[in-house]
Amino acid sequence: METILPATGHPLETGSAQPAIAVLIPCYNEALTVAAVVRDFRASLPEAAIYVYDNNSSDGTAEIARQAGAIIRSERRQGKGYVVRRMFSDVEADIYLLVDGDATYEAQAAPRLVAELLSGPYDKVNGARVHDTSGAYRPGHVLGNKVLTGLVSRIFGAHSRDMLSGYKVLSRRFVKSFPATSNGFEIETELLVHALDLDVPMSEIETLYKERPAGSESKLSTFKDGFRIFGLILHLVRDLLPLQFFTLIGALFALSSIGLGIPVIIAFIETGLVARLPTAVLSVGLMIAGLLAFVTGLILDSVARGRRENKLIAYLGHPAAGG
């Protein structure tokens, strides 16, 4: 079966020996680096279609990328999450390579990442960053990445060393079943948790992470984006693991109820009187709230299972990479 890519005219042949590859580059004010990124990935993956999605750049990023040979698209809603959502919706391919446009990722590693995806076959191959210069990776970013990656690993059972890497190769069935909801840089976290939620096969390869060229500045804010990612993790725990989430809340209410109620019960046993009626009422109210939280978790757990099944059906509606 053959489908024509709408933007390029290149054929996408399911089950062909040469799967169609799309390189997706989200950009915001990357005029200093985008041309080099396009050229490097065209040299590394000459058979791939190179897409640059401009996110309201004011420095001529889109025109420079066009002159370098990229297919230009735009997304007006500000934020990397919006751009990735648009790219995944618009672009048709068998294999998607997602990379930032800041020239910090190793384009020469792209064939290795694609080969790894096909060898599994895997649905997600992460380019884990390793750096040999102190200026490549700010200490605050290193610490934040370790803390947030460790938190996701503990909660969802991930084994990623670099959850926030912007360098990934993804299969079509992964991309087309991904219900993106993030707006900004937290999209990397959502991609990993989606893979864990569906228990898809994935791998990770170390890739060189280079220092930004002089004059180029990172768009990532250590604290602001770190808190946004932490908030997304809580949101995903509530949505994907509601029984555990609401059971924990219910347990906190129940323990508070017991802590407040024990002195009231002891006083009642000793005197036959309820000496602190407001405390007794509060204790009963907290216990009821705890039970309601637990029941809420049970109900939402069934909803989460239904949503997971729908995503799995969408995922299984596409063949494996290279299949």
Mean pLDDT of 300-314: 94
Q: Are 102 and 137 in contact (CB under 8 A)?
A: no
Distances (CA, A) of 316 to 23, 157, 198, 311, 313: 23, 22, 11, 9, 5
Q: Are 163 and 149 in contact (CB under 8 A)?
A: yes
Confidence class for position 224, pLDDT limits 50, 70, 90: confident
pLDDT at 31: 95
Share of the chain above pLDDT 90, in %: 67
Using the predicted structure, report yes or no on whether residue 141 has a pLDDT greater than 80: no
Average pLDDT value for the chain: 88
Confidence class for position 257, pLDDT limits 50, 70, 90: very high
Mean pLDDT of 69-76: 96
pLDDT at 216: 66
Q: List beta partners, residue 53.
A: 26, 73
Using the predicted structure, report yes or no on whether residue 268 has a pLDDT greater than 90: no
Mean pLDDT of 187-213: 92
* pTM across the whole model: 0.82
Using the predicted structure, report yes or no on whether residue 245 has a pLDDT greater than 60: yes
How many alpha carbons lie under 13 Å from residue 30 in its C-beta half-sphere?
Answer: 26
Using the predicted structure, report yes or no on whether residue 157 has a pLDDT greater than 90: no
Confidence class for position 133, pLDDT limits 50, 70, 90: low
Q: Are 289 and 251 in contact (CB under 8 A)?
A: no
Distances (CA, A) of 53 to 112, 127, 179: 24, 21, 19
Mean pLDDT of 189-208: 93
Q: Nearest to residue 32, comparing CAs of 215, 226, 301?
A: 215
User: What is 2-239's CATH number?
Assistant: 3.90.550.10
pLDDT at 2: 38
How many alpha carbons lie under 13 Å from residue 240 in its C-beta half-sphere?
Answer: 20
Distance CA 258, CA 267 (A): 14
pLDDT at 3: 38
Mean pLDDT of 96-120: 96
Confidence class for position 137, pLDDT limits 50, 70, 90: low
Domain chopping of the chain, boundaries: 2-239, 242-315
Amino acid at position 67, single letter: Q
DSSP-H helix ranges across the chain = 34-44, 61-67, 80-90, 110-119, 139-156, 172-175, 187-198, 222-240, 242-271, 277-316
Distance CA 242, CA 235 (A): 10
Is pLDDT larger for residue 4 or for residue 197? 197
